[in-house]
Amino acid sequence: MALFPAGPLALTALARPPELTWRVPGSKSITNRALVLAALAEGESRLEGVLHSDDTRHMRAGLEALGIRVEDDGPTTLVVEGGRSRLRAPKEPLFIGNSGTTVRFLAALAALVDGPVTLVGDEAMSRRPIQDQVDGMRQLGVRIDCATGCPPLTVHGGKLPVGSVSMPGGRSSQYFSALMLSGAGAEGDFEIRVEGRLVSRPYVEITRRMVADFGGRIDEMDGGFIVRRATLRARTYAIEPDASSASYPFALAAATGGAITVPDLGEGALQGDYHFVDALERAGAVVVRSPTGTTVRGRALRGIDIDMHDISDTVMSLAAIAPLAKGATRIRNVANIRIKETDRLAAVAAELERLGQGVTTTEDSLAVEPRALLPAIVKSYADHRMAMSFAVLGMARGNLAIEDPSCVAKTYPTFWQDVVACYRAAGTPAPF
């Protein structure tokens, strides 16, 4: 049962540096990709280590409404009875909350559904752009109604034609992953061309590897990719811990001088956000990597200048502990985080300023000059990563409260239980 303390949640500083093993739940990104691939693979797939969160529940509910059978087989295992032949137009619009992966992946999948599929989200989703993907799908001949460039949208499907798609690479890699995930069911091979530099490239590599694991194939070409028509195969698939979520215990160890081990996430990790530990290493932490897990041990933090273009979901994890570093921290090339659950660049700057820090932003960068921390209630902006990142700072220094603790349900519903376990390990009464 998830624990969601009432907000604002005042956090006290840990009495001593924590030393513990912190088990992180399964990857949201991998869970939602695996659900789509299992839905398209003929037969029964077993997905092990799945994350149960708001985002993955929206994906599951959407697939079930499209005719895919999904059943629980234990606390973190799902059995998916898939196959394109099972897909059917839903009776009602699919509600996808504020889940970016769900709306983008299901929009592409809807092209394979015979009939109209409408995707509608919450108020925040109605401001999240999807025009680049809509334009790309229209280039293939898919009919889509999308009045504002943001959800809601209606896809009039039946087939995914072949041809060539060209989309800007600088806003979201999910547009590319969406077409790759459903591309095996297209009428034939098709090209996806990248205009400019592709943001969060490691997430596209996750997609390519997972498509191959289910029997598909996506080749790289000069300036983009070729998605091959294929028959996907049902299988058992293990989902590794979420590397973005692991950034919080890793950052906490670095910020406090503690030692925290995240098991089952180590050398050979599928997710690019695992390389957040490289950033912590540059900032002074000691990182021990093995095939079975990773340990971060904190030492005196120093500010760094870093391009986080490829690991942009961990920007806030580094920014939130930047006030504890000696010297300024500069994070560059992350304009794409302005179109996430909130404008994350503006949000993190505002909250660091509320905490008394010297902050400078540009369209694609953030610089933090450490100053004395002021007590404050940190606004969450309905963004799970804002709440969890600044919780790390609160545990390290205290005198900080999280406005909306419940928003962590989007990707990490058990976060606060794990925080309580960390307080206990550090010999400190939990503040809630």
DSSP 359-371: EEE-SS-EEEE--
pLDDT at 1: 54
At 4 the pLDDT is 87
* Cα–Cα dist 273/271, whole Å: 5
In which residue are the tokens 């660049």 written? 345
Q: What angle do CA 22, 238, 247 make, to 5 degrees?
A: 30
Q: Give the burial string for 15-28 (b: 16+ CB within 10 Å, else e).
A: eebbbbebbbbbbb
Catalytic residue, chosen from 54, 242, 310, 313, is: 313
- Tokens coding 159: 């087939």
- Strands 376-378, 400-402: parallel, antiparallel or unpaired by DSSP? parallel
Q: For residue 327, what are its two tokens?
A: 């010297």
Q: Which residues sit opposite 45 in a β-bridge?
A: 80
CA–CA gap between residue 187 and residue 218 (Å, rounded): 15
pLDDT at residue number 328:
98
Q: What tokens were used for 346? A: 């503006």
Sorted by where each begins, the domain ranges of the chain are 9-25+241-425, 28-230
| pTM for the model | 0.90
pLDDT of res. 182:
97
Question: Which pLDDT does position 7 carry in this prediction?
Answer: 87
The domain made up of 9-25+241-425 is a member of CATH 1.10.3720.10: no
Q: What are the 10-residue block averages of pLDDT along the chain, 432 residues in total?
A: 84 98 97 98 97 96 98 97 97 96 98 98 95 97 97 97 95 96 96 95 96 98 97 97 97 98 95 97 98 97 97 97 98 94 95 98 97 98 97 98 96 96 96 92
CB contact at 8 A, 108 and 133: yes
3-state secondary structure 247-306: HHHHHHHHHHCCEEEEECCCCCCCCHHHHHHHHHHHCCCEEEEECCEEEEECCCCECCEE
Is residue 122 flagged as an active site residue? no
Same fold, 9-25+241-425 and 28-230: yes
Give pLDDT, residue 267. 93
pLDDT score recorded for residue 341? 87
Buried b (16+ CB within 10 A) or exposed e, 93-120: ebbbbbbbbbbbbbbbbbbbbeebbbbb
8 Å CB contact between 406 and 416 = no
Question: 50: number of CA atoms within 13 Å, CB side?
Answer: 31
User: Residues 266, 244: contact at Cβ < 8 Å?
Assistant: no
Q: How far apart are CA 170 and CA 297, in angstroms?
A: 34
Which two tokens mark 424? 């206990």
Name the residue type at position 251: A
Looking at residue 412, the DSSP 8-state letter turns out to be: -
Q: CATH: 3.40.640.10, 3.65.10.10, 1.10.150.120, 3.40.630.30. Which one for 28-230?
A: 3.65.10.10
Residue 3: what pLDDT?
Answer: 77
